[in-house]
Amino acid sequence: NCPRTLLSVRGGHSHHHSPATQGVAETAAAAVAAVTPYGIPLNAWKVIFQAMLTTINVVCWLVPLRSKKITDNKLALSLANAFSGGVFLSLAFGHLIPECIHGFNHAGGEINEALPYMIVLGGYLLIFFVEKVAFDAHEIMHNMEAGGHAHSHGKENGNDALEKQEASGGRGAVILLGALAVHSILEMTALGLANTFGDSALLSLSIALHQPAESIALLVAFLKSGMPKPDIVKYLSIFSCMGPVGVAIGMAVNSFATPIVDATMLAVVAGTFVYVGATEVIPEEWEDPEHKWKKFFSLIGGIVSIFAITQYTMTLESS
């Protein structure tokens, strides 16, 4: 089945084999993983994908900033975000979690069966803590939206009130930037950890679908803070640089760390993907009941399409 095929790339099959048979299986799996289009090394493809994602990230905040049109098509953005939620959930439950469990099972030694799942939960709680407890990014955005419509009353205190509002909004935007930066690093780490071209392409697709909503939300937060545009460009450029940092971390772990560390990182990233899909995207999109059926089918479309694409890429890699 699909998970078994995916997992075999990371170290053989789930059944017990003799050392010779297992060595042949691992060699074959490594050969499958090494197959990439045009003979370009996998790490080079990761850099290419990251460059594309960084470009998308920059375009998603720079173009609206220059054109002064932030959300021309809210429905399209909402449907894309719902679709990405399905993509993240499908990748987490259909690929990353089974793969990290396989990694733990083949790491050697006795390992508690519940440990991989608890690490996944730890990854979920990590991003939950960053976004809801330490910073409460969602509440910051709501407060800034409310503050953006607030007007000071009275001529004497009007300027002071406006300065306080802008200062508060600026701090809130920077805090939101920090939360989303951690979020971006963890997402991109998954791309660096990928062992096949198919996995890299799927993860890049899921991130590309999700990034526009994050970039525009962050841009809106900075604009509502009243911060000068040169400063906004500076802060958002820092945010765009977080992606390459995450990919570099993932590639370093994948190349130099032991299999147990690789599996642990996969479990943490899987937990963050569950958070993005189930706790961030779905509640956010269904707060507004408008177009709920379209968003629901978009969510299901994301889940189903990733399953179909995964099946197709696996047939390509096994051929």
Find out whether 189 and 269 touch, Cβ atoms under 8 Å: yes
pLDDT digits (tens, 9 = 90+) for 144-193: 555 554 444 444 455 554 454 455 556 767 877 887 888 889 889 989 99
Q: How confident is the model at residue 238 (pLDDT cuts 50, 70, 90)?
A: very high
**Which range among 26-30, 94-98, 268-272 shows the weakest confidence by mean pLDDT?**
26-30
pLDDT at residue 317 in the model? 53
Assign 3-state DSSP to the chain and report helix, strand, coil percentages, each to 5. 80, 0, 20
Determine the pLDDT at residue 141. 61
Distance CA(252)–CA(223), nearest Å, equals 36
Cα separation, 172 vs 139, in Å, equals 10
Both tokens assigned to 78 = 């909402």
Secondary structure (DSSP) of 134-161: IS-HHHHHHHHHHHHT----SSTTHHHH
What letter would DSSP give residue 10? T
Reported as a single tens digit per residue, the pLDDT across 98-112 is 888 988 888 777 888
Whether the predicted pLDDT of 302 surpasses 50? yes
3-state secondary structure string across 223-258? HHCCCCHHHHHHHHHHHHCHHHHHHHHHHHHHHHCC
Strand runs labelled E in the chain? none
Confidence band of 223 (pLDDT split at 50, 70, 90) = confident
**pLDDT per residue over 55-90, tens digit each?**
999 998 888 888 755 555 678 778 877 888 888 888
Pairwise CA distance, residues 33 & 205, whole Å: 19
Give me the mean pLDDT over the 274-303 stretch: 88
Residue type, 207: I
Most confident of 70-79, 111-120, 212-221: 111-120
pLDDT over 70 at 275, yes or no: yes
Q: Please determine, for residue 12, whether its predicted confidence score (pLDDT) is greater than 50.
A: no
pLDDT in the model for residue 9: 38
Percent of all residues in the chain with a pLDDT value above 90, rounded to a whole number: 21
